[in-house]
Amino acid sequence: MVKDNTNSEVATAKQEAIVIQPPKLSDAILSASEKVVEQAKTLVIKTRADLEGPAAEALLAVSKQAKALEKERKDMKEPSLEAGRRVDQLFKPTIAQLEDATKIIKQVMIAAKSKFDKEDQEKEAKIMARAEKTGKGSLHEETAINKVSEIDRVQKTTHTSVGSTTFKKVKQVTITDLEAIPVQYLRPKTAEEFKDFKPWPAIQKAAISLFELIEAGHNMEMIPGVKVELVDSLSAR
């Protein structure tokens, strides 16, 4: 006789947990607002009475709903904003002080590097001058090259137990004469650009582009009243 295992298999089968999945509040609100938008698209005004009655009532109802939801949004968000403000009050003053200290140290280090670089350039110039001389005190070309390579220059990148610092050259744009800057650099080119136009970033971008072209050998002139130069910058990681 063959035993029927159907019932036992059903009994031992893994039962899925019965869990109620309520709709997300955000989904419910969005769904309701989408229906309102669809209803608004079907609004038809045929008579003066429609304009002054149903249409006006619909406008006021939807507007009030939007304002009520906006108020509730702000009310719900306020505790988080207040917590954020308290966190800012706790950390921001100290962070600002440390950032000031960072700037001061960077300025001192950049100034020191500039001083050492100048000293190294002077050493190199003296060595090369001796290489160009003849007679007493002169240097053979190979000896001069070796001496130049032995100059203990400031390293571009320095690694320490806590990270690394790197010196690099960056393009710095400064204004030497505000009144000399042509007016086309102080206003947008099109009406579309006017809303978000900021003269100084636009001048910086144009000046750097011109600087790079001039450095590449193109016969061009810098924007009057503006100067671009390579300066030392220091980053820490």
pLDDT (tens, 9 = 90+) of the chain, 237 residues, equals 555 555 555 555 566 777 777 778 788 888 888 999 999 999 999 999 999 999 999 999 999 999 998 999 999 999 999 999 999 999 999 999 999 999 999 999 999 999 999 999 999 998 998 888 877 778 888 888 898 898 988 889 999 999 999 999 999 999 999 999 999 888 888 888 888 888 999 899 999 999 999 999 999 999 999 999 999 999 999
Is residue 221 included in any domain, yes or no? Answer: yes
- Give the 3-state secondary structure of residue 230: strand
Structural domain of 218: 156-237
How many folded domains does the chain comprise? 1
**Contact indicator for 218, 198 with CB cutoff of 8 Å:** no
Is residue 139 assigned to a domain?
A: no
- pTM value is 0.64
Q: Is residue 222 domain-resident?
A: yes
Helices (H), 51-180: 56-132, 141-149
CA angle 58, 54, 40 (to 5 degrees): 45
Residue 236 resides in a domain: yes
